[in-house]
Chains A and B, each alone.
Chain A
Amino acid sequence: MATNESESHPSASAETKTYSTRRDFLLQVGVVVNTIAGFMIGVPVVGYILSSLIKSTPPVWFSLGPVSKFQEGAMRMAVFENPYRREADGQTARLTCWVRRIQGDQFKVFAANCTHLGCPVRWFEESQLFLCPCHGGAFYADGEHAAGPPPRGLYVYEHKVENGELQIKAGVLPTLAGPFA
C-alpha cells in the first residue's frame, strides 16, 4: 500500500520512499480499526434484520374448541388467534380456517388462503364449493382443486382430537413454499 501511495501522489514521488511513514501507519491502523468496528456494528444489524428468520417460528398445536362445536358432515368457519400474536396485531391476530367434520373424530381443516395468490376462499354450502373471489379458483368440499388457476388443492392443516377438543397445527401463513400439506 505504501508504495502505491507514493505513485498516486506525484509530490511525494520526488524523494523515493523506501520506508513507511507515520502517515502510512496511521492510515493502516485507521482502516483496521474501522473495519473491526464496522463488523461489530454490521453483524448485529444484519442479525436484527434477519431476526424473524433466525428465530424459529414453526406451526404449533392449539385448540379450535370442543369437537361438539362442529356438526357432523358439515363445513364451518373457525376463527382462531394466531399463536404468535402480539398485542399490536389487533384484529389481524384473528385467523380463519375452514373445518369439515366428516364424521366422529374424522376432520379435515383447510386454510382460507387460496393456493393461487392467497386470497380468502369462501365456502358455499349449496353448491358444496369453495370459491375464490380474486380469479375464480374453485375447490371441492374435500379441498381438491375443482376449477380455475390454482395449481393445487387447498392447504390442509394437520389436526388431532385430544380430550374432546379439535387441535390444529398452524400459525404460519401457508404459501406454496410451505409449510402445509
Chain B
Amino acid sequence: MSAKDRPITSSLVNIAMWVERRLHLVKIWKATAGHPIPKSSASWFYTFGSMTLLCFTIQILTGILLALVYVPSANEAYRSLLFLNYQQELGWFLRAMHYWGSNCMVVIVFFHMTQVFLWGAYKHPRELTWISGVVLLFLTLALSFTGQVMRFDSDAYWGIGIGAAISGRIPIIGAQVVNLLLGGPIIGSDTLSRFFALHVFVLPGAVIALVSLHLRLVLLKGINEYPTPGIQVHKGTYWRNYEEMLHKDGMPFVPNGIGKDLVANGVLLLVMVALAVFVGPKGPEIPADPAQVISEAKPDYPFLWLLSAAALLPNGSEVILFFVVPLIAVILLIGLPFFSNVGEKHYSRRPVSILVVMLTYLTIGLLTYAGITGPWSPRMEAWSGTPTKPQFITGRSPVELQGALLLQGKQCRNCHSVGGEGGQRGPDLSAVGARMNQPQLIRQVIQGGGNMPAYGNTLTPQEVNALVSYLVSLRPINTIPALNPAIPEKAERVSSGEPTKGAKTGG
C-alpha cells in the first residue's frame, strides 16, 4: 500500500513537500544536524560542548522566567528575590535552576576547553573555533559575575565595591573606569540597572552571536577527529585527509553520533534538577545596606580563587594579579593555536599540555578551597563568641588569667586561634610559650610586625605584662618556656615556629 492509495496520507505528503520545496529543510538538515562527522568523534569526551550549550539554554529559559518577577531596582531587587523564594509559585525552583545552571556552565565550559586543549582540537584549521571559544569562556565568566550582582544582597553590593576598588587601581583612567562601572559616583540603582542590562541583554546577545559563529565553524571546519598518537597535523594535507576520512568513515551527527551527547545531557539535567531541588537557590543573604558593615563580600565559586590569590600574594602585587596576569592569560589563550598550530594532537605525545592542565587545575582548585575556608579572613566575632577550653585556663595565676581576658577582650582571637578555635589569620597560640620567649613576645605585642598591628599604644605596661605571662603559659604539658636566646641574633627569629637553639641548650 503506497501513500498514494490513501487520500489523507497523500495530502499530508503533499503538504510536507510543499513546505519542503519552499524551505529546503532537507538541505538545511543535511548541512547542520545531519552533517557528517568522523566515527571516532562520537566519544564521551566530546560531549562537553553540547552540555555547555544545554546549560546556556537553561539559563536563557529560566532567566526569561525570572525576569517576569524580578525587579531590577536597588530598592526592589532584594524584595523581589524574597518574593521569588517564598511566595511566587515554584519561584525558588527557577532561581535554583538558574543558579546551578550558572555554576554548571562555568565548570563545564572549563572542562570543554580542557578537553579541546588536550585533544589538540585547536590546531589547524580550527584556530577560529578555539578563539571564539576563548571569548565565550570570558563571556560566561562575565555572565556569572553580573549574575551574582543581580542578587543585590550584601555580598553583591560589596562585590561591586571590590570590582570598583580593583578598577580604581588602573593607572590614569582609574576614576573614569570606576564611574562607568558604577554608572555614577557611588553604588546605587544605576549600578544595578547597568549590570542588569549587561546580564540580560548585552552578554547573552554576545553569547548567542558567538555560539552561532562557533557552531558555524564546527560545521565548516568539521569536528576534530579523535586524535591518534603519532599522527601529525600538516597544513598541506590535513584537510584532504579529513575529508577523505569523512567520506570513507563518516556518519551523520544526527542520528548516529548524537547518542552519547543525549545521555550526557540527560544526566546533566538530572544533576541540575537534583541540585536545584535538594540544595536550592543561593541567597539572597542579608540586604545590601551599606550602613551594616558586617559583610565579608565573598563572591560565588567561580571567582573565589581570584579573591584567594589577592589575599595570598605579597602585598602590593595586586596590579600584577588583576591586570598583568589576565592580559598574559588572554594573550596565551588567544595565541595558543598560533604558537602550536601543527604536529601531534594526542595528549600522550604532548606532556607539556598535561602539565599545564594539571598546574591550572591545582592552582584554581587549591585557591578555591582556600577561598572557601578563608584562613586569612579574621573571624570578626571570635573575640566575643569563641569559648576557651579548660586546659588553657586551669592552673593559671591571677595575672595570667588577666592576660587570658585581655587576649579575648582585645580581639586577639579574631586572628589567633587557641586550641584550634578562633581566626586563622595569625599563628595558633596554643603552644606559643614553647616557641617564643618573654622578650620576643613583649616585642611582638608592642611593635607588631609580620601582619600584626602594634599594640603598644593600646595596652598599658601592666596589661602587656599580664598578656605575655599568659602567652608564656600557653605550651604543652611537660615543655619548658622558650628561654632567652643565648646568641643575640637568634632573637630576630620572632615569627619562627620552632624553639630557638638557645632555648634547647638552655633547657
Do A and B assemble together? yes
List the interface of chain A (C-beta within 8 A of B): 50, 52-53, 57, 59, 77, 79, 82, 84-96, 112-114, 116-122, 124, 126-129, 131-136, 138, 140, 146-149, 151, 171-173, 175-179
Contacting A at CB under 8 A, from B203-229, are none
**B368-381 to A contact mask, C-beta < 8 Å, 1/0:** 00000000111010
Q: Do B161 and A173 have beta carbons less than 8 Å apart?
A: yes
Tell me if B471 counts as interface (CB < 8 A to partner A).
no
A168 to chain B, nearest CB (A): 14
Q: Are A151 and B174 in contact (CB under 8 A)?
A: no
Which one of A57, A112, A117, A128 contacts B293 once the chains associate, using CB atoms below 8 Å? A112
The answer to whether A175 and B165 touch across the interface, beta carbons within 8 angstroms, is: yes
17 A-B pairs besides A119-B161, A147-B448, A173-B186 with CB distance below 8 A are: A50-B180, A88-B73, A90-B75, A91-B289, A116-B318, A120-B293, A126-B383, A129-B411, A134-B296, A134-B311, A136-B378, A136-B425, A138-B453, A172-B185, A173-B161, A177-B167, A177-B178
What separation, in Å, do the CA atoms of A50 and B179 have in the docked complex? 9
User: Given the complex, which residues of A lie within 8 Å of B454, measured CB to CB?
Assistant: 146
Q: Give the one of B175, B182, B376, B455 with max A CB within 10 A.
A: B175
Pairwise interchain contact A171-B378, C-beta atoms closer than 8 A? no
Which one of A90, A131, A135 has the highest number of Cβ atoms from chain B below 10 Å of its Cβ? Answer: A90
Given contacts A88-B74, A96-B291, contact A173 B178 (CB under 8 A): yes
- Cβ of B297 under 8 Å from chain A: yes
- Complex Cα gap A129–B183 (Å): 33
> When the two chains form their complex, are residues B453 and A116 in contact, meaning their CB atoms are under 8 A apart?
no
B168 to A176, Cβ gap below 8 A?
Answer: yes
Q: Which of A82, A88, A119 contacts B186 (CB 8 A)?
A: A82
A147 to B290 CA separation, bound complex (whole angstroms): 24
Q: Would you call B287 an interface residue if the criterion is a C-beta within 8 Å of the partner chain's C-beta atoms?
A: yes
A sample of 23 inter-chain contacts (CB < 8 A) reads A79-B291, A84-B186, A88-B74, A89-B189, A91-B289, A93-B188, A96-B290, A112-B290, A124-B411, A127-B455, A131-B414, A134-B377, A136-B451, A138-B453, A146-B453, A147-B448, A149-B310, A173-B182, A173-B186, A175-B167, A176-B169, A177-B169, A177-B174
Q: Does B439 contact A (CB under 8 A)?
A: no
Closest residue of chain A to B452 (Cβ to Cβ) is A147
**Chain A contacts of B176 at CB under 8 A?**
53
Name the CB-closest residue of A to B75.
Answer: A90
Is there a chain A Cβ closer than 8 Å to B51's Cβ? Answer: no
Chain B residues positioned under 8 Å from A128 (CB to CB): 457-458
**Cα distance A127–B463 in the bound complex, in angstroms:** 12
Report the minimum CB–CB distance from A176 to chain B (whole Å).
Answer: 5
List the interface of chain B (C-beta within 8 A of A): 73-76, 157-158, 161-162, 164-170, 174-180, 182-190, 287-291, 293-297, 307, 310-311, 315-316, 318, 376-378, 380, 383, 409-412, 414-415, 425, 448, 451-455, 457-458
Which chain A residues border B165 with CB–CB below 8 Å?
A: 113-114, 116-118, 175-176
Contact of B184 among A52, A94, A129, A177 (CB under 8 A): A52
Contact A131–B378 (Cβ < 8 Å): yes
Give the contacting residue for A126; candidates B307, B316, B376, B409; CB below 8 A.
Answer: B409
A79 to B, closest residue via Cβ? B291
Residues of A within 8 A of B383 (CB): 124, 126
Query: Which residue among B315, B409, B448 has the maximum number of chain A CB atoms within 10 Å of its CB?
Result: B315
**Cβ of B318 to closest chain A Cβ, rounded Å:** 8
* A135 close to B376 (CB less than 8 A): yes
Contact across chains for A179 and B175 when beta carbons are under 8 A apart: yes
Q: Which residue of A lies closest to B188 (CB)?
A: A89
Task: List A contacts of B287 (CB < 8 A).
Answer: 91
Residue in A closest to B193 when the chains form the complex, CB atoms: A88
- CB pair A119–B411 under 8 Å, yes or no, is no
Knowing A57-B184, A95-B186, the reply to whether A173 touches B291 (Cβ < 8 A) is no
